[in-house]
């Protein structure tokens, strides 16, 4: 019976389904050849970046960068819980902006949970802060979110020049709402410890910090992101080998090829659907104007779609409806980046956050659903409204 139960539980892996979709839809002609070639040219660099920046983040973790930053935050807080929370906000925001929201969910979540244990703080409010900022802080740079990378080439005056003000508004509202929701958890003091985590190699730590700073400059300057991330992988990989620091995970697990296959399958499915009339349906739902009401309609459609399915297919489906108008495109990004905060599957970062919380709370299991749902239901409409309001004022 045990063997039979094991066979019943064995499922065809999602990555294999994704690989089948990527091959089958173009091969059968459901996705026309011309559309397939255009899709590869648009999304190929995005997938390369996804693979490379994840490896960069893992190498940063192996060098002890996140642990050291968290340890410095605990020391800098000098026993004040509210200051500790503010420093977690800074760490999660910086990680999301420079290394992407998925890196924050995977790497910062366990660091913050360890920080909570070390300072005897409540883990859930700190973890919920990371969850919120992994999504809402992902608007400033193209590299902060895959949706931004897909859209960046359509911003004629430069992505950052258009998005910095909505990104700032979304971030400010997020921090204020989080403080209102969780502020009582950060009243009082904790007993500071004398020593934080020791990095495996101080030279490697310095090299890693310099590389991350240079990557931030390259991304802000909107240099080719895939090449910059690959350069980061090369330098950090060589430095790790040179300093003989063991990897935290094997290389085969460091490269997120399964996630890349799933993302590629989403690209192919939505492009195929568009080739068979999806655009006409969405035009009727999301509208096509540029007035305040039209942008609000598009934003609401994007938020609902992201929470219903996932923010990446929501963006891919609605991007043609946004058209070439910069305000509509910016509105869509605000909706699908800052809005997927309610359902556990609304963004890949949210999925990864749930996994990391369950894995690193030592038997406590998944986070309670109601606090996550309450935070999302309150945050999503407020942050999206703030971002869209800034777009209207441009």
pLDDT in tens, 187-242: 888 887 656 678 899 999 999 999 999 998 988 888 888 899 999 999 999 999 99
232 neighbors 115 (Cβ within 8 angstroms): no
Is 347 domain-assigned?
A: yes
* HSE-up of residue 367 (Cα within 13 Å, Cβ side): 27
Q: Which domain covers residue 40, as residue numbers?
A: 16-392
Give a yes or no: residue 272 inside a domain.
yes
User: What Å distances lie between residue 373 and 132, 171, 187, 218, 344, CA to CA?
Assistant: 11, 19, 23, 36, 9
pLDDT interval class at 71 (50, 70, 90): confident
CB atoms under 10 Å from CB of 294, counted, come to 17
Beta strand spans in 155-302 (E):
none
Is residue 8 one of the residues assigned to a domain? no
Mean pLDDT of 347-376: 79
Nearest C-alpha neighbor of 264 from the set 228, 316, 304: 316
Say if 249 falls within a structural domain: yes
Looking at the domain assignment, is residue 232 inside a domain? Answer: yes
The answer to whether residue 52 is domain-embedded is yes
Cα→Cα distances 211→48, 57, 98, 111, 344, Å: 19, 11, 11, 21, 33
* Max Cα-Cα span within the chain: 65
Q: In terms of Cα–Cα distance, which of 42, 13, 62, 1 is closest to 274?
A: 42
Q: What is the mean pLDDT of the segment spanning 72-79?
A: 85
For residue 85, give Cα distances in angstroms to 61, 82, 90, 132: 21, 5, 9, 13
Which band of pLDDT confidence, cut at 50, 70 and 90, is reported for residue 7?
Answer: very low
Among candidate residues 100, 132, 101, the one with its CA nearest the CA of residue 215: 100
- pLDDT tens digits, 168-189: 999 999 999 999 999 899 888 8
At residue 261, the 3 state secondary structure works out as helix
Total domain count, the chain = 1
Averaged pLDDT of the chain? 87
Tens digit of pLDDT for each residue in 119-149? 888 899 999 999 999 999 999 999 999 899 8
85 in any annotated domain: yes
Asked, for residue 1, whether it belongs to a domain, the answer is no
């Amino acid at each position: 019976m045990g063997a039979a139960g094991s066979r019943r539980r064995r499922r065809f892996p999602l990555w294999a389904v994704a690989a089948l979709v990527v091959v089958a839809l173009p091969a059968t002609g459901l996705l026309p050849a011309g559309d397939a070639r255009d899709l590869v040219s648009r999304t190929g660099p995005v997938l390369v970046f996804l693979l490379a920046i994840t490896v960069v983040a893992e190498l940063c973790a192996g060098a002890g960068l996140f642990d050291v930053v968290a340890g410095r935050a605990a020391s800098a807080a000098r026993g004040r819980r509210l200051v500790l929370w503010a420093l977690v906000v800074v760490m999660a925001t910086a990680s999301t902006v420079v290394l992407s929201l998925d890196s924050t969910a995977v790497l910062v979540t366990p660091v913050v949970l360890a920080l909570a244990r070390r300072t005897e703080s409540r883990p859930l409010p700190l973890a919920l802060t990371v969850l919120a900022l992994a999504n809402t802080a992902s608007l400033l740079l193209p590299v902060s979110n895959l949706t931004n990378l897909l859209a960046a080439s359509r911003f004629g005056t430069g992505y950052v020049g258009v998005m910095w003000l909505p990104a700032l508004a979304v971030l400010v509202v997020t921090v204020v709402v989080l403080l209102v929701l969780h502020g009582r958890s950060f009243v009082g003091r904790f007993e500071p410890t004398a020593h934080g985590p020791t990095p495996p190699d101080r030279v490697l730590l310095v090299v890693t910090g310099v590389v991350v700073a240079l990557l931030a400059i390259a991304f802000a300057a909107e240099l080719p992101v895939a090449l910059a991330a690959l350069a980061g992988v090369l330098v950090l990989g060589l430095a790790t080998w040179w300093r003989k620091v063991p990897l935290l995970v094997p290389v085969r697990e460091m490269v997120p090829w399964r996630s890349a296959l799933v993302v590629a399958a989403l690209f192919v499915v939505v492009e195929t659907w568009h080739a068979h009339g999806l655009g006409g349906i969405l035009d009727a739902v999301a509208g096509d104007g540029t007035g305040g009401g039209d942008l609000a309609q598009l934003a609401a459609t994007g938020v609902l779609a992201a929470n219903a399915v996932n923010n990446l297919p929501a963006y891919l489906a609605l991007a043609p409806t946004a058209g070439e108008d910069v305000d509509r495109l910016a509105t869509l990004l605000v909706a699908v980046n800052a809005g997927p905060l309610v359902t556990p599957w609304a963004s890949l970062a949210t999925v990864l956050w749930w996994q990391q919380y369950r894995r690193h709370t030592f038997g406590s299991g998944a986070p309670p659903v109601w606090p996550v749902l309450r935070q999302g239901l309150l945050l999503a409409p407020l942050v999206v409204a703030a971002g869209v309001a800034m777009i209207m004022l441009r």
